[in-house]
Structure 1
Amino acid sequence: MSQATRILLALVLGLGLGILAVASGGAWVEGAIGVAEPIGGMWLNALRMTIVPLVVAFLITGVAASAEAARAGRLATRAIVLFVVILWCSALTAALLMPLLLDLFPLAPDAAQALRGALAGAASVGTAPSFADFLQSIVPTNVIAAASQDAILPLILFTLVFAFALTRLPEEPRERLVGFFQSIVDVMLVIINWVLWIGPIGVFALAFVVGARAGGSAFGALLHYVVIVSAVGIVVWLAAWPLAFFGARIPLGRFTRAIAPTQALAISTQSSLACLPAMLRAAAKLDVPAAAAGVVLPMAVAIFRATGPVMNFAVAIYIAYWFGIELTPTMLAVGVAAAATTTMGAVGIPGQASFVTSIAPICIAMGVPIEPLAILIAVEVVPDLFRTLGNVAMDVAATATVARRSGFEADEADTREDRLLEEGA
């Protein structure tokens, strides 16, 4: 049984038992809640303790990888510029679209109230600063204090400055430092896998509490969350077609036929990395020269996840909505910056492994509670499908766009190779 399935089953079982426990009317229910709540909290804290090391290490290795790729030439540089633009547009899409969707399709008031009561222990991790305070606080006076106080945005700024400075070092010390931070990433991922292995226990405990306090409305609220968050991911997924049409002059039908096998593989694997060979074949069908596809697509898989900002930020906005937190323009601006920045270099693994560590920094930067993430991780399996579909489609569209805008033309050898790839596919 897969990790995602075990966590989802733990959620359903925990909610169901919590609802049945309340229905039984036993005096033992409050005692059971008193035991389950700290168990779930400990599990969430175990995930939370990896956030700061991962954010720092991911940003440094991501910037280093981007700088290394940019040194390869004009094609790589243009690809990185396009990736950054798309990531920021993705984050802005969530800021504009998510509040609109929540206004058009609101969660039932009684369900929202019940869920707030179920997670009564959750609290904002900060307060929304004024614009002047935001500008003044964005540069940390003490980076260690910023890390210890979960001041994510100042920490991100320092880390970006550090990462860009690192790229100016001579090769030997630069590689030593990058290797050090890559090792931190690897160790943190091992720890996260350990924590997720016991994830069903933590999710079951928290789901039991939610079920006992919120009742059956919890199921409807989770379905509402899945539909709304998936919807904003679908928007970025569909944006791959206009990018291919306007950026690479590829007819929409041709683009659809070329990427169809990659989309089927994305559904079955939920991993962009596993789709790389299929994406190379799709690029060949679109007459993208092998020399260009061979450079840009591996870069895209390593450092570019188009749906990351929009869906990660959408989750943070949904939690704020869930808790009745008014989102000010400053909070949305902070969320956009955090969502667009922390996505660069994030690992391309199934969503359950990176869900909390990718979204918690955005929540913390905005002052939004992170406790609901421990429940929402259990239903990430559905939104993660749209994450992967969007990422794979955008990778191919961006590759075709960069190749065309960089003046790459398929020569006779490339055309022959592309034809063989098409026949082999």
Structure 2
Amino acid sequence: MSSAAPPSSSRSFFSSLSLWVLLALVGGLAAGAAASEWGLPGGAGTADMISALGALWLNALKMTIVPLVFSLLVTGIASIADAARTGRLAAKAILWFAILISLAVVYAFVANYGLLAVWPVDPEGAAAVRAGAPAPPEGLGPGAPFSEFFKTLAPANPIRAAAEDAILGLVVFAVFFGFAATRLPDRLRLPMVAFFEAVGETMIVIVRWVLTVAPVGVFALAMGVGLTAGVGAAGVLLQYVSVLSLVQIGLILLCYPLVMAFGRMGLARFARGAAPAQVVAFSTQSSLASLPVMVERAVDALGVSRSTAGLVLPLAVAVFRITSPVANIGVVIWCAHVFGIEIPPAAMVAGGLTAILVSIGAVGLPGQVSFFVSIAPICAAMGVPLELLPILLAVEVIPDIFRTIGNVTADLAVTRIVQGDDAAAEADPGI
């Protein structure tokens, strides 16, 4: 899921952790199903203890959300503002990033709802998975007017908004705070940005500590699901992986006609040029690790000048991740279907705005960290419970591959589009 790669030691840690978490999921579901069939030693007391252990681990993750999201947004906005000041080409690239990621949010709702309409979540499996889960939090109901939504955009008390999980209001405040900070003189702005970088890094350290015991937490949560859902949960999770992957594949395919229309390049040429970078993305699941081959292919195969590739591609890897809102909104919509929650239009707008803004700050985090940090605020904004996220984290390995391929494809597409705007001579009428 990450657009940037952590050091090799961290990549090795998170790769092995993903395997252990997946094994914990399978083991927890199997143990829960077996206990449901043949009984659990200790009865209800043991079940309550397992549930409490899973809830403790989930709460340990939740406690980092507010400071981490706020800090990442402030530092992310500062990096975008710094990039925009470097010149017209960077500003144009950022404009294209904004346009494409906004269109991606629209696509996310259309594609996810459309696919789930054709392939709905199995009612029995959904009922089994949500059995025993906490009731959905109070929020905007299906009949809530848009006036209620607009009231949340400017929190009268940001601290209270944070305490009450009014995530959208907090995110909007963080955006205003970040942009206001960019207007300060360097002697004030730089120490402030450094402070929030330190806060964000501190929260990431805590999240990594919590994720170190993720196999235990996921096992406890999965066993609770297994106790109520039995083996039926496996089918529901398989559908989740399939839906999330298909939606992202659709987004990847949309990049090709986009390059044809705005990048002045034939479909076959772009496909041949992007393929090697997509292979690296598939194998590494890291946009940063794919950056060298992206630059090489952009210059040698896509007709992009080295100066354009050298500016736009690193900037894209740093602040642009088109699959983030698509996949993250998809996770939230799928969870809403499992819990039987109808998301009202106001909550969709809130979730879309939150997805765009949070994607800026979460770029570069390890997948296991960014999965929860990126999706939890969207869940809160759309009134969907968070309790399924740790379970879904365990099966994120496959969707994460398509997240990275989609990011790399979009990065190459927008680089060619920016080049095409500046160099009509590079027009390619070929197929």
Task: For 2:92, give the aligned amino acid.
Answer: R
How much has 1:333 moved relative to structure 2? 1.3
1:26/1:201 Cα in 2 relative to 1: closer, same or farther (>3 Å)? closer
Aligned to 1:101: 115
Of 353, 356, 366, which residue of structure 1 is paired with 2:382?
Answer: 366
Percent identity over the alignment is 46
Matched, 1:43 2:57: yes
Output aligned runs, 1:244-323, within 5 Å.
Answer: 244-284=259-299, 285-323=301-339
- Matched-pair contact (CA < 8 Å) for 2:140–2:344: no
Output aligned runs, 1:13-412, within 5 Å.
Answer: 13-26=27-40, 28-117=42-131, 119-124=132-137, 126-128=139-141, 129-284=144-299, 285-407=301-423
Count residues in correspondence. Answer: 409
Query: 1:62-92: per-residue Cα shift (whole Å, max 9, x none)?
Result: 1111111111111000111111111111111
1:355/1:127 Cα in 2 relative to 1: closer, same or farther (>3 Å)? same
Tell me, in whole angstroms, the C-alpha distance in 1 between the residues paired with 2:40 and 2:183: 66
- Matched-pair contact (CA < 8 Å) for 1:122–1:371: no
The answer for unaligned runs of 5 or more in structure 1 is 411-425
Task: For 2:108, give the aligned amino acid.
Answer: A
Tell me, in whole angstroms, the C-alpha distance in 2 between the residues paired with 1:256 and 1:32: 55
How much has 1:347 moved relative to structure 2? 2.6
How much has 1:100 moved relative to structure 2? 1.6
How much has 1:148 moved relative to structure 2? 1.1
Tell me, in whole angstroms, the C-alpha distance in 2 between the residues paired with 1:91 and 1:224: 22
1:408/1:188 Cα in 2 relative to 1: closer, same or farther (>3 Å)? farther
Tell me, in whole angstroms, the C-alpha distance in 1 between the residues paired with 2:423 and 2:361: 27
Tell me, in whole angstroms, the C-alpha distance in 1 between the residues paired with 2:241 and 2:50: 25
- Matched-pair contact (CA < 8 Å) for 1:21–1:29: no
Aligned to 2:6: none
Please report the TM-score for the alignment, with normalisation by the length of structure 2: 0.92
Tell me, in whole angstroms, the C-alpha distance in 1 between the residues paired with 2:152 and 2:180: 22
Q: Secondary structure at the match of 1:2?
A: helix
Tell me, in whole angstroms, the C-alpha distance in 1 between the residues paired with 2:117 and 2:44: 35
Task: For 2:115, give the aligned amino acid.
Answer: L
How much has 1:186 moved relative to structure 2? 1.4
Matched, 1:9 2:23: yes
Task: For 1:62, give the aligned amino acid.
Answer: G
How much has 1:138 moved relative to structure 2? 1.6
Tell me, in whole angstroms, the C-alpha distance in 2 between the residues paired with 1:154 and 1:349: 23
- Matched-pair contact (CA < 8 Å) for 1:307–1:387: yes
The answer for unaligned runs of 5 or more in structure 2 is 1-14, 427-431
- Matched-pair contact (CA < 8 Å) for 1:146–1:154: yes
- Matched-pair contact (CA < 8 Å) for 1:292–1:408: no
Tell me, in whole angstroms, the C-alpha distance in 1 between the residues paired with 2:395 and 2:43: 25
- Matched-pair contact (CA < 8 Å) for 2:362–2:373: no
Q: Secondary structure at the match of 1:107?
A: coil
Tell me, in whole angstroms, the C-alpha distance in 2 between the residues paired with 1:349 and 1:380: 15
Tell me, in whole angstroms, the C-alpha distance in 1 between the residues paired with 2:351 and 2:171: 12
- Matched-pair contact (CA < 8 Å) for 2:71–2:200: yes
Bigger Cα displacement from structure 2, 362-371 vs 20-29: 20-29
How much has 1:405 moved relative to structure 2? 1.1
Tell me, in whole angstroms, the C-alpha distance in 2 between the residues paired with 1:41 and 1:85: 39
Task: For 1:35, give the aligned amino acid.
Answer: M
1:111/1:409 Cα in 2 relative to 1: closer, same or farther (>3 Å)? same
